[in-house]
Amino acid sequence: MTVRTPDPNPGWLSDHDLDETRNRVPMLYVEAVPVRVDPDGLVAEVGLLLRGSHTGEITRSFVSGRVMHGERVRDALMRHLEKDLGPTAFPVLPVSTVPFAVTEYFPYPGASQFFDARQHAVALAYVVPVSGECQPRQDALELTWLTPAEAATDAVAAEMEGGRGALLRQALAHLGALPG
């Protein structure tokens, strides 16, 4: 059983073909950590989504999704931000598509701190400021805004699936917002 919302624009592979492909080749994803910044440009809040995982559990996560064949990384990032946060989030995409981290998820535990039982995936991770009203959509149940100190806690990391708590800490360190 899945709690995920079917993709209204599956783009390039049927569910069966996607499962077959996931068993054979690494999949490319983008992940975005939405943030709100204060007037000085410092991170004031970090947005985490509450969603149902592929195992049926409720977990915290980032904006995330596949890059479709022939799609620019920048376009995939914008598509997933709008899909998960709504059309009035007003994200500010980075000028460069160089991510703050490249994360490799393995389908078996122990290969790295990042795990996804469905597949071997490579994710390009970005921090994306948003200035508008966020209204979670698709399989996102809600968006919770946390201070950097709240986001860096072990309790929040424990709510995140597949090792994403470690990726959240990497994002906070990248921003100079990891509490000391």
**Rounded mean pLDDT, 3-32:** 72
pLDDT tens for 35-64 read 999 999 999 999 999 988 767 888 999 999
Residue 138 is assigned to a structural domain of this protein: yes
In a domain, 12, yes or no: no
Least confident of 18-22, 24-28, 113-117: 18-22
Long-range contacts of 55-58 (CB under 8 A, 24+ apart): 55/117, 56/1, 56/2, 56/3, 57/161, 58/141
Look at 152 and 52; give whichever has higher pLDDT.
Answer: 152
The H or E element that residue 157 is part of is helix 154-159
State pLDDT tens for residues 153-177: 999 999 999 999 999 999 999 999 9
CATH of the domain at 133: 3.90.79.10
Q: Are 80 and 66 in contact (CB under 8 A)?
A: no
Asked whether residue 106 is assigned to any structural domain, the reply reads yes
The pLDDT score that the predictor gives to residue 12 is: 63
Is the Cβ–Cβ distance between 48 and 156 less than 8 Å? yes
Task: Note the pLDDT of residue 143.
Answer: 95
pLDDT value at residue 23: 72
Using the predicted structure, report yes or no on whether residue 25 has a pLDDT greater than 80. Answer: no
79 in a structural domain: yes
Cβ contacts of residue 69 below 8 Å, gap of 6+?
11, 12
Residue 1 pLDDT: 44
Identify whether the C-beta of residue 97 lies closer than 8 Å to the C-beta of residue 74. yes
Of residues 58 and 76, which shows the higher confidence score? 76
pLDDT for res 7: 54
> CA 119, CA 173: separation in Å to the nearest integer?
28
Q: Is residue 15 part of a domain?
A: no
In a domain, 142, yes or no: yes
What does pTM read for this prediction? 0.86
Q: Which residues fall within 8 angstroms of residue 83, CB to CB, at 6 or more apart?
A: 65, 137, 138
Q: Is residue 154 part of a domain?
A: yes
Give the percent of the chain with pLDDT over 90.
69
Question: How many domains, in total, are found in the chain?
Answer: 1
Give the domain range for residue 71.
Answer: 22-175
Res 64: pLDDT: 94
In a domain, 28, yes or no: yes
Measured CA to CA in angstroms, residue 113 lies from 30, 142, 152, 155 at distances of 18, 26, 17, 17
